[in-house]
Amino acid sequence: QDTGTGQATGTILDAPTNPPQDFDIFSYTMVGSGEFNVTVQRDPADPSTLVPTIQLYDETGALRTQAAGNSAGTASLDFEGAIGERFFVVVSGQSVSNGGDDYILTLDGPAFEDDYADIGDLHAATDFEMYDHLGGGTVSGLIEYPGDTDIFRFEAFDFQTMTIVASSPSGDLNPRILVWEQSVDPTGRPIMLLIGNNDDLNGNTENAGVVVQTNTNRVTTDVNGDPIELPYYFVAVLGSDGQADAGDYELQISFDSTDDHADAGEFDLATQISIPSSTGLGSATGVIESDGDDDLFWFIAPAGGPTELTVGVNTGDTLVPSITLFDEQGNVLAGPASGVPAALSGTIVQKGAKYFVLVDSDGTDGGYTLNIETPAIDDHPNIGEFDDATLLTLNPETGDASIEARMEPDALDTDLFVFTSLAEGTHEITVTPAVTSIFAGMAMTVQIFSFLDLDDPIAEGTSASFNQGVTVSFDATGGDEDYYVLIATDRNLSTTRQGDYTLAIDGQPGDIGDPSDDPGFIDFDNPQIITLNSKTGDGQASAEIEIADDRDLFTFTIPDAERSRSSRVFVQVVTPEGSLLNASVTILDGADEDSVVGFDSQGLPGANANASVDAAPGDQVWLIVDGLGSGTGSYTIRIDAEPEVFYTYYPEGFASPTINEFVSIANPNDFAVSYSIILRYETGDRDQVVVSNATIGAGSRSGITLSGSQFGVPAAGRDFAPYAVEIQSNGPLGATMAHYDFGSTVGDAFAEQPSDRWTFARIEKDPGNVSDFVVFYNPNDFEVDVSMLVHLEGGGTALLVQTVEPLRRGGWSINDTASIVTGLHAATITARATDAANDDAFDGIVAGLSHFDAGAGAGFGLLGDATGGSTFSVVPSITNGDSSLAEIALYNPTSSAASVT
């Protein structure tokens, strides 16, 4: 039965001495998939001494499981089965009384659950969801057992050709499809006309498919002349052999789309409009094809604040558009607003929230452009983002605070700050625009909000004219009260909306008391010192926000260098995954809290706070990390500044009369950079300077030929001597190596960051055909031990170890390494200082691979992966052809299995 349950009775007969034992056999076919139970018990109406036994066999006659009864005369077993499987249940008895023993057999299994209605149930046909802008739709189903059928119905969007195909993803089902349209017979009664019937599309596939002509607005009349609407077409999926076929299928209907975007209500299918966080601007184009058409879009606001939406009409079109804004739940936030153009302005959006925009019309049609303007992510939060407002801390001795900030060119940019009063009395807020040749013409507006009312300002003011500051004052009713300062440009007075300004607060001093009792007390005489690496300009320190309102002070000095220009210094606060700590970072250029030059509390993905400032070599910088709210926990503060000297490396170089080798250098900066190129040889005299203090102009490229076969001798350096290439410069440069050897071209970009670990997903040993060289360079001033663990194809490992001198190159020729067998392998290289006393100064090594395939006439060169791998990667281009071969190699260097999709 479809319920999956059944019951039967029987009798185990007794017999003379040593007769064949009595067995009763039953058949059970699964109508659903899952666990089923078989129970045999004595018949209560005929008390006996039967102790039953159950044996379960499959269709092949194999015994799958069995169960013996207990002293109460009950035997029971459980087993798993799939729909359509047939089992045989054998019942016997361990002891039988005279005359035989009666029993009851009960089977309890999963009920039949049909995913879709059958052909005979047209009234219950499932609506097939198709989307005009996607040109069709797809549904998955299951023919649960031989003879099962599934019926669907759909409506056409227009007079159009539709292709209907059924396939089986698993290959278990050989599908067949039938397609009908509704009509009426001469007496006016509805009938079904078969317009499509197919088993196999062709001899090469079991997929079923038909092409049918469909139309919309199908209406006829009955015998009385009354209209009969016939909107639906019906499609059925069944097995090719109704006695044997069962399995999964995918039914797809496709057609030429007559719409470009999803319609109202189709939120899951709306077209995304990307809003770059740097600009806050996004746009999309569309066409309202006909009366009743509309288009649905969605976007995520990169920052909070007011948004502007406009729909402009294509030249020559008569469209009169309307626009409506929805939140993520589909609730109307603003609109509809119509016009040419249609516009919505001033709705406050929240950072990171999702919004939908519907473009409609008054029945007219035509093309349009939808423009969205939201605030961009900038130095400070925007209007409405009170929870993220930049915190300004008043000096307890003076009641003052100040900060320098910038109004971005984004017309919707605003800046929001918060401070806590120390005492009651008058507080004066002054905003002064910086008057420069670039930013002249900015006028400011200021609004003050109390913590008691975030909707209406308690004070506000506007510059009297552009280039003038504005001062607003109010009376705080006490200490420990939060007040918000909102700053914007005045659109009526400003000739530009971009520029720098200074915000200054002149408040009331507080009760100083013993400052050391305050967890937020900053002692500028005792900061934690962070020492930056002179080679990289990087540094970090770990600390902990121990209690609410705790603050920590750090200081560091920009590495000294023979250059006077300032450069950008980046600071991040990073917390462990899952931490409840939320923190801000304040950057100061002096040892007092009035010297603020940078601040951030919003962060970015992977960092709680992220701020940057300009600083010159030798400048001392102070940082304050402030725990926000009640969260506590550990954190790491990371600093990225320019080093004393910029280093970049490539570990593989070799010169000979038959080799061409070039180093190309690019200067992406807006200033000139001087550089030197040094070859570090593996043996013999270690150093050779081939370029000394050359200059490369801003936005320019340069380079050097290290080996040129056209000259008959190396252009630079020693013949037949392997080396690494090191570039030293007073500014950041990009460099690439191009090496032509063995009839192949290899090379990669130079590396600026050494590492103590490098991985290679593919190395090959194939003497006579392939030559692989794994090389590394030690940029440290001391010896380094380098180990390469090779994971061999087919299992097993090989371990290779070298000690390399300071500023020397080392490596392995894979074909000449006996412990590595012929085949494709992967490897991990690790390095450490030979002398543990140098561990703190150890910067790592740079490792690379050169691969030459003489048989294929191809090769490649690359640096290893210094990150330990990734859980998500993108390959932007894969090309195979007569002159190219693409290959993706995967390597798991960890001790745990990994699932790769």
Based on the fold, state whether residues 152 and 31 are members of the same structural domain: no
pLDDT greater than 70 at residue 15: no
Tokens for 601, please give them.
């509390």
Q: Which of 116-120, 655-659, 661-665, 883-887 has the lowest mean pLDDT?
A: 883-887
In this structure, the answer to whether residues 778 and 721 fall within a common structural domain is no
Average pLDDT over residues 621-637: 91
With beta carbons less than 8 A apart as the criterion, state whether 250 and 139 touch. Answer: yes
Sheet holding 400-407, edge to edge: 400-407, 499-506, 425-433, 470-476
Please tell me which residue, 132 or 591, carries the higher pLDDT value. 591
Q: What angle do CA 387, 496, 350 make, to 5 degrees?
A: 25
Whole-angstrom Cα distance, residue 1 to residue 328? 46
Q: How far apart are CA 36 and CA 34, in angstroms?
A: 7
pLDDT at residue 438 greater than cutoff 60? no
Tell the burial category of 221 from Cβ atoms under 10 Å away from its Cβ (0-12, 13-18, 19+). Answer: exposed
pLDDT above 90: residue 56: yes
In a domain, 347, yes or no: yes
**Residue at 488 is within a domain:** yes
Rounded average pLDDT over 507-525:
76
Same domain, 316 and 246: no
**CA–CA gap between residue 680 and residue 690 (Å, rounded):** 11
Rg (CA), the chain: 39
CA angle in degrees (0–180, nearest 5) for 635-642-589: 65
- pLDDT at residue 323 is higher than 90: yes
Q: How confident is the model at residue 256 (pLDDT cuts 50, 70, 90)?
A: confident
Please tell me the distance from the alpha carbon of residue 630 to that of residue 702, in angstroms, as a whole number: 55
Strands (E), 686-722: 687-696, 701-707
Q: Find all residues with CB under 8 Å of 137, minimum gap 6, and list them.
A: 128, 129, 130, 131, 252, 253
Which residues, in sequence order, are bridge partners of residue 58?
87
CA dist 653 and 261 (Å) reads: 55
pLDDT of residue 202: 76
Q: Are 129 and 83 in contact (CB under 8 A)?
A: no
Per-residue pLDDT band for 436 (boundaries 50, 70, 90) equals low
The SS3 of residue 268 is: helix
Q: What is the CATH number of the domain that holds 310?
A: 2.60.120.380
Eight-class DSSP state of 805: -
Report d(CA 198, CA 78) in Å as an integer. 42
Q: Express each pLDDT in 399-411 by its tens digit.
A: 998 888 877 765 5
pTM across the whole model = 0.52
Give the whole-angstrom CA distance, residue 821 versus residue 134: 53
Share of the chain above pLDDT 70, in %: 94
- Please check whether residues 324 and 236 belong to one and the same domain: no
Q: Which residues contact 31 (CB under 8 A, 6 or more apart)?
A: 1, 2, 4, 83, 109, 110, 111, 112, 145
Residues 44-81: b if buried by 16+ CB within 10 A, e if exposed: eeeebebbbbbbbbeeeeeeeeebebeeebbbebeeeb
* Residue-wise pLDDT tens digits, 771-792: 999 999 999 999 999 999 999 9
Are 725 and 656 found together in one domain? yes
- Is the pLDDT score of 97 beyond 70? no
Instruction: Indicate if 396 and 281 belong to the same structural domain.
Output: no
Q: Round to whole Å and give the CA distance between 659 and 682.
A: 18
Residue 651 has pLDDT above 60, yes or no: yes
C-beta separation of 54 from 67 below 8 A: yes
Examine residue 496 and state whether it is found in any structural domain, yes or no.
yes
Q: What is the mean pLDDT of residues 854-880?
A: 82
Q: Is the pLDDT of residue 142 over 80?
A: yes
User: Cβ–Cβ contacts within 10 Å for residue 1, how many?
Assistant: 8
Which of 316, 351, 373 is the last residue before a domain boundary?
Answer: 373
Residue 731 has pLDDT above 60, yes or no: yes
* Cα distances (Å, whole numbers) of residue 138 to 62, 93, 607, 746, 825: 40, 54, 41, 46, 43
Comparing 850 with 515, the larger pLDDT belongs to 850
- Distance (Å, whole) CA 738 – CA 665: 11
Q: How many domains does the chain have?
A: 7
Per the CB < 8 A criterion, the answer to whether 278 and 377 are in contact is yes
Q: Is the C-alpha dihedral spanning 97, 100, 101, 105 positive or negative?
A: positive
Q: Of 228, 254, 280, which marks where a domain is finished?
A: 254
Look at residue 18 in the predicted model and tell me its pLDDT. Answer: 45
99: how many CB neighbours lie within 10 A of its CB? 11
Range of the domain at 48: 5-108
In degrees, to the nearest 5, what angle opens at C-alpha 343 toward C-alphas 340 and 349?
A: 165
Backbone angles phi, psi at 704, to 5 degrees: -150, 145
- Structure letter (DSSP) for residue 697: -
Question: Which residue from 172, 233, 169, 237 is spatially nearest to 198, judged by alpha carbons?
Answer: 237
N-term to C-term CA, the chain? 41
For the sheet with 24-29, list strands across it: 24-29, 86-93, 52-58, 63-68
- Beta-carbon neighbour count of residue 521 at 10 Å? 14
Q: Tell which of 343, 373, 403 closes a domain.
A: 373
pLDDT at 755 over 60: yes
Which tokens go with 710? Answer: 């056209």
Looking at the structure, tell me whether residues 536 and 507 fall in a common domain. Answer: no
Residue 44: which residues within 8 A CB-CB, separation 6 or more? none
> Span 857-882, mean pLDDT?
82
**Taking 70 as the threshold, does the pLDDT of residue 562 lie above it?**
yes
CB 246 within 8 A of CB 146: yes
**What is the spatial distance between Cα 315 and Cα 368, in angstroms, rounded to a whole number?**
9
Query: Residue 515 pLDDT more than 80?
Result: no
Strand partners, 811: 775
The answer on 579 and 688 residing in a single domain is no
In a domain, 73, yes or no: yes
Task: Report the side by side order of strands in the sheet with 723-729.
Answer: 646-653, 723-729, 673-681, 687-696
How far apart CA 481 and CA 451 sit, in angstroms, is 7
Within a domain: 743: no
Predicted local confidence at residue 514, as pLDDT? 56
Averaged pLDDT of the chain: 87
Q: pLDDT at residue 728 above 60? A: yes
Q: Are residues 699 and 780 in the same domain?
A: no
- List pLDDT tens digits, range 823-849: 999 999 999 999 999 998 999 999 999
Collapsing DSSP to helix, strand or coil, 517 comes out as helix
d(CA 785, CA 636): 29
Return d(Cα 648, Cα 728) in angstroms, integer. 7
Q: With cut-offs at 50, 70 and 90, classify the pLDDT of residue 380.
A: confident
149-154 and 126-127 beta bridge pairing: parallel
Does residue 137 form part of some domain? yes
- Respond yes or no on whether the N-terminal peptide bond of residue 341 is cis (omega within 30° of 0): yes
Q: Which residues pair with 37 in a beta bridge?
A: 78, 108
pLDDT at 429: 94
Average pLDDT over residues 144-161: 88
Query: How is the chain split among helix, strand and coil, in percent rounded to 5?
Result: 5, 50, 45
Closest CA to 368 of 286, 472, 254, 440: 286
Beta bridge pairs of residue 448: 459, 485
Would you place residue 464 in the very low, low, confident or very high pLDDT band (cuts 50, 70, 90)? confident
Q: 885 lies in a domain?
A: no
- Is the domain of 608 the same as that of 542? yes
Q: Does residue 586 sit in the same domain as residue 652? A: no
Kindly list the distances between the CA atom of residue 150 and the CA atoms of 199, 232, 235, in Å, as whole numbers in the listed order: 15, 16, 8
Tokens of 636: 């790491």
Tens-digit pLDDT profile for residues 569-617 = 999 999 998 888 999 999 999 998 888 999 988 888 889 999 999 999 9
pLDDT at 789: 94
The answer to whether 501 and 467 are in contact (CB under 8 A) is: no
pLDDT in tens, 325-340: 999 999 999 989 999 9
Question: How many Å apart are CA 104 and CA 87, to the nearest integer?
Answer: 18
Q: What is the CATH number of the domain that holds 768?
A: 2.60.290.11
Residue 631, pLDDT above cutoff 90? no
pLDDT score, position 242? 85
pLDDT in tens, 466-505: 677 889 999 999 888 999 999 888 766 545 566 778 899 9
Q: Do 886 and 878 meet the contact criterion of CB atoms below 8 Å apart?
A: yes
Phi, psi of 517 (to 5 degrees): -75, -15
pLDDT of 741 reads: 79
Angle at the Cα of 560 from the Cα atoms of 554 and 563, rounded to 5 degrees? 130
Q: Is residue 883 part of a domain?
A: no
Is residue 96 predicted with pLDDT exceeding 70? no
Q: What is the mean pLDDT of residues 611-628?
A: 92
What's the pLDDT at 729? 94
Let me know whether 224 and 247 are in one domain: yes
Strands of the 734-741 sheet, one edge to the other: 701-707, 660-666, 734-741, 744-746
Q: How far apart are CA 428 and CA 508, in angstroms?
A: 10
